[in-house]
């Protein structure tokens, strides 16, 4: 028997493309966000509210990842933001190469903030670096307070947690403090926002955080 040493990450190829994407974002001063969550937690609604809130202030573009349909891209396009739809045709996550291909349809020189909405899935997207500056994970109150414990990889890799649908707290079995505690036990460094896309509560704090990142990109 002979041994061939490999010592190579399984996703090294993806990571190399992600590095290229990251370098491209950096050279254009684009702050890129990888927005992840389970299906139905409100990613697209958060996007819509964010675009409305930042309109005329920041140049925002969106990459929409979905398994099927361009319904989300149409929602975003109706708000006047540049949007590229990636249809994964069954694949449960976005990969760096899909994002790289999508970027050829965007003029990054005109984009300060790029939001990549991943496929709704709390498992698979955790493994795939897309070249983003930060992962933002959304957990809605209707999902209960134990999501961070059930899907630790996703919450560990995220920089920001958005607890969405807080307007529904009186009606659902979700302890907000417990949800925060669970998330911080997995990832003590998480920045947490509590939001509602219906009442718009908490969205200003989130947008202020985004603005602060623009300053960072501009200076770097």
Partner 1 sequence: MHELALAQNIVETIHRAVPPETRKNVRVVRLQVGAMAGVVPDSLEFSFNALVAKTPLSRVRMEIESIPFVVECEACGRISGNDVGISRCLECGSGKTRIRSGTELQVVNLELEDFQEEAV
Site of interaction with partner 1 (CB under 8 A): 1-14, 91-93, 95, 123-124, 126-128, 149, 152-154, 156, 184-189
Question: Based on CB atoms, which residue is closest to partner 1, 122 or 207?
Answer: 122
Crossing angle between the packed helical segments 12-28 and 96-103, to the nearest 10 degrees: 30
Distance, in Å, from the CA atom of 87 to the CA atom of 43, rounded to the nearest integer, reads 16
Question: Based on CB atoms, which residue is closest to partner 1, 156 or 211?
Answer: 156
CB 67 to partner 1: min, Å: 12
CB 215 to partner 1: min, Å: 26
Question: Based on CB atoms, which residue is closest to partner 1, 27 or 185?
Answer: 185
Distance, in Å, from the CA atom of 94 to the CA atom of 87, rounded to the nearest integer, reads 9
Distances (CA, A) of 147 to 155, 162, 168, 179, 220: 9, 13, 17, 8, 35
Distance, in Å, from the CA atom of 166 to the CA atom of 176, rounded to the nearest integer, reads 9
Question: Based on CB atoms, which residue is closest to partner 1, 5 or 104?
Answer: 5
CB 130 to partner 1: min, Å: 14
From the list 123, 108, 96, the residue with the least C-alpha distance to 38 is 123
CB 181 to partner 1: min, Å: 10
């Amino acid at each position: 028997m002979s041994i061939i040493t490999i010592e190579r990450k399984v996703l090294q190829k993806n990571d190399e493309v992600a590095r290229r994407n990251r370098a491209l974002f950096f050279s254009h001063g684009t702050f890129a966000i990888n927005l992840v969550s389970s299906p139905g937690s409100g990613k697209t609604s958060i996007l819509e509210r964010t675009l409305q809130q930042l309109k005329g202030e920041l140049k925002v573009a969106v990459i929409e990842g979905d398994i099927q349909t361009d319904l989300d891209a149409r929602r975003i396009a109706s708000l006047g933001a540049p949007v590229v739809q990636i249809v994964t045709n069954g694949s449960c996550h976005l990969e760096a190469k899909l994002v790289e291909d999508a970027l050829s349809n965007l003029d990054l020189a005109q984009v300060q903030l790029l939001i990549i909405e991943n496929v709704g899935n709390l498992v698979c997207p955790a493994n795939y670096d897309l070249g983003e500056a930060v992962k933002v994970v959304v957990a809605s109150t209707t999902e209960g307070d134990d999501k961070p414990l059930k899907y630790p990889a996703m919450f560990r890799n995220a920089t920001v947690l958005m607890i969405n649908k807080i307007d529904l707290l009186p009606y659902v079995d979700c302890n907000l403090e417990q949800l925060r505690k669970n998330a911080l036990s997995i990832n003590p460094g998480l920045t947490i926002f509590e939001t509602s896309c219906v009442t718009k509560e908490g969205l200003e704090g989130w947008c202020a955080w985004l603005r602060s990142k623009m300053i960072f990109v501009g200076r770097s």
